[in-house]
Amino acid sequence: SFIKNVCYNELDAVVVKTITEAAKRMSIKTVAEFVKDEATLNKVSELGIDFAQGYCLDKPQELAMH
């Protein structure tokens, strides 16, 4: 939920940055969910997050039935 407002809420940005830095020190990759627009994608990239998912990148896809 911190990603949803990371561009508009300074506290959310600080929390995301802190979690990202801690994960990197533990060699853990990070994923930002709810990346809804270009501004959010740029912000999570700036904060050092490794992966992103959300409407900015692609819409949810229907799973193929097996």
DSSP structure string for 7-22: TT-HHHHHHHHHHHHH
Rounded CA separation 32/63 (Å) = 21
At residue 55, the pLDDT reads: 94
Name the β-bridge partners of 52: 32
Convert the pLDDT of each residue in 15-55 to its tens digit: 999 999 999 999 999 999 999 999 999 999 999 999 999 99
H or E segment at 44? Answer: helix 38-46
pTM for this entry: 0.85
